[in-house]
Chains A and B, each alone.
Chain A
Amino acid sequence: MAQVTVAASRPKPHRFRRARSRVPIWHVAWLALAALVFLVPVYSVVQFSLSGIVPGQNPFHWYLTVFDDSGFKSAFWLSVQISLETVAASLILMVPTVFWVHLRLPGLRPVMDLISVLPFVIPPIVLIVGLAPFLKTFSSWLFVRPEVLSLIYVVFALPFMYRALDAGLRAIDLRTLVEAAESLGASLPRTLMRVILPNLRAAIIGGSLLTVAIAMGEFTIASIMGFTTFSVYTYNIGTSTAYEGVALTFISLLLVWGAMLGLYLLGRGGRSAAGVAITN
Chain B
Amino acid sequence: MATVQLRGLRRTFGNVVALDHLDLDVHSGEFVSLLGPSGCGKTTALRIIAGFEWPDSGEVLVNGEDVLGEPANKRNMGMVFQAYSLFPNMTAQQNVEFGLRVRKQSREQRAKRARELLELVGLASAMSRYPRQLSGGQQQRVALARSLAIEPSVLLLDEPLSALDAKVRVQLREEVRRIQLELGITTLYVTHDQEEALSISDRVAVMSEGRVEQLGTPAQIYSGPRTAFVANFVGTMNKLEATVISREDRTVRCGPVTLSVPDPTFSHAPGETVELFIRPEDVRLELLSNGGSPPAGLFEGRVTSLTFLGPVTRVGLTTDLGPLLADVSSAVALGLAADTVVAIGLDSSSLRSIAL
Contact = CB atoms under 8 A, between A and B. Distances in A.
B81 A185 contact: no
How many A residues touch the partner, as a band? 20 to 34
A103 to B, nearest CB: 12
B169 to A, nearest CB: 9
Contacts of A173: 83-85
Contacts of B139: 277
A184 B137 contact: no
B99 interface: yes
B86 to A, nearest CB: 8
Interface stretch (B128-136, B219-227, B246-254, B255-263): B128-136
Contacts, number: 99
Contact of B135 (A172, A184, A279): A279
A280 B102 CA distance: 30
Contacts of A187: 73
Interface stretch (A7-15, A110-118, A174-182, A215-223): A174-182
A179 B82 CA distance: 12
A171 B133 CA distance: 18
Contact of B81 (A176, A195, A276): A176
Chain B interface extent, by class:
35 or more
A277 B150 contact: no
A86 interface: no
Contact of B130 (A179, A181, A185, A273): A273
Interface of A: 172-173, 176-177, 179-187, 190, 194-195, 198-199, 273-280
17 contacts: A176-B84, A177-B87, A179-B81, A180-B81, A180-B86, A180-B143, A182-B71, A183-B79, A183-B156, A195-B89, A274-B88, A276-B132, A277-B84, A277-B135, A278-B133, A278-B136, A280-B136
Given A181-B87, A274-B89, 20 more contacts: A173-B85, A176-B81, A177-B87, A180-B146, A183-B78, A183-B79, A183-B147, A184-B98, A184-B147, A185-B74, A185-B102, A273-B90, A273-B130, A273-B132, A275-B131, A277-B135, A277-B139, A279-B135, A280-B137, A280-B168
